[in-house]
Amino acid sequence: MSYWIDSHAHMVDEVFQEHFDEYMQRAKEYGVGKTLCICLNLAELKRGFQLQQQYPQLDLAVGYYPSDIPHLTEEDWQGLEEAAQDERVIAIGEIGLDYYWDKSFIEQQKEGFIRQIELANRVNKPVLVHARDASLDTYDILKEHPVNAKGILHCYSGSKEMAKRFEQLGMYFSFAGPLTFKNSKVAKEVAKELPLNRMFVETDSPYLTPEPHRGKQNETAYVKYVGEYLAELKQLDKEIVQKQMIENYQTLFNK
Ligand code: NI
């Protein structure tokens, strides 16, 4: 059977809490068979565990987001260490570098990123990488601190040249709503050229809503729009794209 996988969604976010069943129902109607839920802290992960009992199509990842790094205590780090070992957690993320919002704590961001790569390697799980306006530093860190189980660059927004270099490191790429925007020329070019066996689509819900719902709140069902857009861009049947992504997911997450 063929279906869409949303490789990155914050469905544990409280904005989805009230009508969660409706979001899951719509995901089913839109042909979304799996959603990787990104938990940004241990409280979100706890909610993820609860939701997963009712909805086994939810997978879970946990990691500390770049802008949260300066506020973490040793207790938070200890908690992440334990959570990472839980077999219900399939990846560490989202982790990485964000120079868009605040450049005042770059060194701390780097340290937090490296620390979580080392953790991913201890538990032998892939990473989910957030890199905004920080392609080169992200690359340098991934090259100097290789992730054994590889990982995904989520909402890839870098250049074609950087994509080639990340590809050589064994990384995968995920595209989100901006791919469907009229002005995303670079993202479209990169997505056209990258091999499908290194690609995923995602929503990053509740953010980055794709066309035709741009401007409204995003939800995991809408990964269908990103997937269909990519299929059109690559001039491939929707089923071929879906099947390859299912295979990619199995390869990367070993399931
Ligand atoms: Ni995200």
Q: What is the DSSP string of 80-127?
A: HHHHHHSTTEEEEEEEEEETTT--TTHHHHHHHHHHHHHHHHHHT--E
102: pLDDT confidence band, cut at 50, 70 and 90?
confident
The residues, ordered by sequence, that sit 6+ positions from 153 with a Cβ below 8 Å of its Cβ are: 129, 131, 138, 166, 171, 172, 173, 174
Instruction: Report residue 251 as tokens.
Output: 């390869």
Residues 207-244: pLDDT tens digits? 999 999 999 999 999 999 999 999 999 999 999 999 99
DSSP state of 178: G
Q: What's the rounded Cα separation, in Å, for the pair 75 and 223?
A: 35
- Ligand 1 center to 62 CA (angstroms): 11
Give residue 207 CA to ligand 1 midpoint distance, Å. Answer: 8
Q: Does the pLDDT value for residue 101 go beyond 90?
A: no
Q: How far is the CA of 145 from the centre of ligand 1 (A)?
A: 22
- CB distance 243 to 31 below 8 Å: no
- Find the 201 Cα to ligand 1 centroid distance in Å: 13
Query: Parallel, antiparallel, or unpaired: how do β-strands 127-132 and 172-175 relate?
Result: unpaired
Question: Cα(16) to centroid of ligand 1, in Å?
Answer: 15
pLDDT at site 254:
87
The model scores a pTM over 0.85: yes
Quote the ligand 1 centre to 228 CA distance (angstroms).
21
Give the 3-state secondary structure of 198-238. Answer: HEEECCCCCCCCCCCCCCCCCCHHHHHHHHHHHHHHCCCCH
Q: How far is the CA of 144 from the centre of ligand 1 (A)?
A: 24
- The confidence score (pLDDT) of residue 60 equals 98
Please give the distance, rounded to the nearest whole angstrom, from the Cα atom of residue 162 to the centre of ligand 1. 21
- Compute, in angstroms, the gap from residue 128 CA to the centroid of ligand 1: 9
pLDDT of residue 1: 83
Ligand 1 centre to CA of 204 (Å) is 5
Least confident of 23-37, 38-52, 94-108: 94-108
Distance 193 CA to ligand 1 centre (A): 24
- At residue 65, φ and ψ (nearest 5 deg) are -70, 145
User: Residue 129 Cα, ligand 1 centroid: separation in angstroms?
Assistant: 9
State in Å: Cα 74 to ligand 1 middle.
24
Q: How much is the pLDDT for 212? A: 94
DSSP 8-state symbol, 77: H
pLDDT, one tens digit per residue, over 111-155 is: 999 999 999 999 999 999 999 999 999 999 999 999 999 999 999
Report how far residue 127's alpha carbon sits from residue 119's, in angstroms, rounded to the nearest whole number: 10
> What pLDDT does 12 receive?
97
For residue 91, the model assigns a pLDDT of 98
Ligand 1 geometric centre to CA of 9 (Å): 6
3-state secondary structure of 48: helix
Distance (Å) from CA 54 to ligand 1 centroid:
23
Distance from residue 94's CA to the centre of ligand 1 (Å) = 6
Give 116 Cα–ligand 1 centroid separation in angstroms.
16
What are the backbone dihedrals phi and psi of residue 103, each rounded to the nearest 5 degrees, phi first? -105, 10
pLDDT above 70: percentage of residues in the chain: 100
38 Cα to the center of ligand 1, angstroms: 7
Of the pLDDT bands very low, low, confident and very high (cuts 50, 70, 90), residue 44 is very high
